[in-house]
Structure 1
Amino acid sequence: MSTSTLSAPQSAPCDLIIDTDPGADDLVALLLAMACPAELNIRAITTVAGNVSLGKTSRNACLAREWAGREDIPVYAGAGRPLVRKPVHAAEVHGEEGLEGVAVHVPRQGLASGSAVQYLVDTLADAEPHSITLAMLGPQTNLALALVQQPGIARGIKEVVVMGGAHFNGGNITPVAEFNLYADPHAAEVVLASGVRLAYVPLDLTHKIITSDERFRQLAAIGNQASKRVVGILDAYVKHDMDLYGMPGGPVHDACVIAYLLAPGLFSGRRAHMTVDSREGPTFGQTIVDWYGVLKRPANVLWLNDGDAQGFFDLLSARLARLQ
């Protein structure tokens, strides 16, 4: 069972829904995605409570859209709390407003009418089979609620790419759990059980794609408003992980999902069997990956565990340069 580099994307644009809880790294991911209309046809952005409350994640998603000059993309607000557990947020990492390092304000354009969950149900029910990709940058609550309401919508999904989980790396909110899975493991179980094609972008990968002084200089050299915002956001955001882990730089977790959709050849991993622990106790929210296939169970996720860090920052720099 070998680890392999993934193939190049197809030339046709990817029909994409981004489900997100901005959050600093979500904001970078959104700007990266919205800078690439030829490759990513973003149908909508759906928001969920996670890094901060739903009102703030929804406002921040609308700000990202405004800053990217992409107010053609609708933003739908979704679930304000997890399926079962009590809500948990990460203001100590992302700041009280979810975006440290930049000034936030009331967006020019507000939310689309209707809920994110109903939007997912309606859109995926009407979609051609296996045609729409979902980038899940926060807790998976919205998609889980949609699948519970109408399980048949799984047929419209081409792939779900999740930023979440940890195996070899260890967790970032408990010793074994990554935040997005810890915030709603029951939702992750629903998505996993639906049979949709899943790729996971875990801490195993994102902790290898980290900032450096040279990479900050590379981003700053772009010189437009988008790069200034990204540098400001990341400069504030990465300090937490650098202090916690003693790393020389900090990860840009969610942007790795968008980079995978744009340039999968930057990343490598393998298909494996994964389960999520939703039992109360010290392993709550843990992702258990049978990396070596010892259980002889069918693989149900593509688990990405390595990537080209400089290639990621080169891609991010080139695409941010397209924005204002």
Structure 2
Amino acid sequence: MAVAALVVVSARWHGLFDLRIYHGAVRQWLHGGDLYGYREPGPVRNYGFTYPPFAALLFAPLALLPLPAAAALLTAASVAGTAALLRVRLRRVRPVLTALVVLAAVEPWRDTLSFGQVNLVLLTLVGLDLLVLRNGALAGLATAVKLTPVLFIAYLVIARRYREAAVAAGVAAAATGLAWLVAPGASARYWGGLAWQVSRVGEVGAPADQSLAGALQRLHAPEAVWPLLALAVVLFWTTRVQAAGDWEGFALTGVAMCLISPIAWVHHLVWELPAVLLLFPRRRLLGLAVVAVLALRLVWLVPALSLLTLVGIVLLAAVPHDRTSDVSP
């Protein structure tokens, strides 16, 4: 009941802003318009569609529905996906339901639902692939929808899961190629320049941007500092995941992805939820502290402190190694 109430209320919090972009841009495209020319008025500026054309193909069925129906389907998929991942980790129904209630208080999960974001669906695809199916296809599909999950393909290579890495890369390439055949103009425009324009996603350094780049921007650090710190994160992540179990590798890769992305909005931090799960029960106090920071909207109180960026760094260092959790029921 608590989760259902949160889902209903959260839809009003950010007004399904991102889903309105998906819905409006893809509708415009299906009617012969420019996929990347659509603009949704925001509080500071207008925003447009920022994903590859293949994402537009997947969003097309939602765009054909009225916005409330599309929101209901995306929300149901997000909540069901969260429950599925929790079931893989926690195994029993009661802990899963308890975790869902706790997540109702966690800002990244709330924001994903209230923006109408696709993060939880992608997290589910990657998680089920890496932990259960172990074939690479769903991870490749997620990478074709949004570029940042490509780090999971790199993880598969480092973990010597070469067949899965090859399948993931092949699926991502095939999906991108399919989109190029269906929408050559949009594909040429996206891959020819739009994909690399970070400013289209938002303002680096805005309070909601909790990447390393955003934190350094708020601290007015020299531009040369970010690539050095990002490289340090990648090297540390590489050493940790080389001998990691499946859950640890999945969790650490999600954290590293958020840290080194050019922009990581608060709702992107759902990729850190698997790492938070691994803190319980072996590092319960630290886990409770992280949940408290994620729940209390502290990011908005003193933006320069970049508390959620610090949470990511702590998670990257503190996630315990636990191969016993890699055995699925």
Structure-1-length-normalised TM-score: 0.30
Structure 1 or 2: larger helix share?
2
Structure-2-length-normalised TM-score: 0.30
- Work out which structure has the larger RCO, using CA pairs closer than 8 Å and 6 or more positions apart in sequence: 1
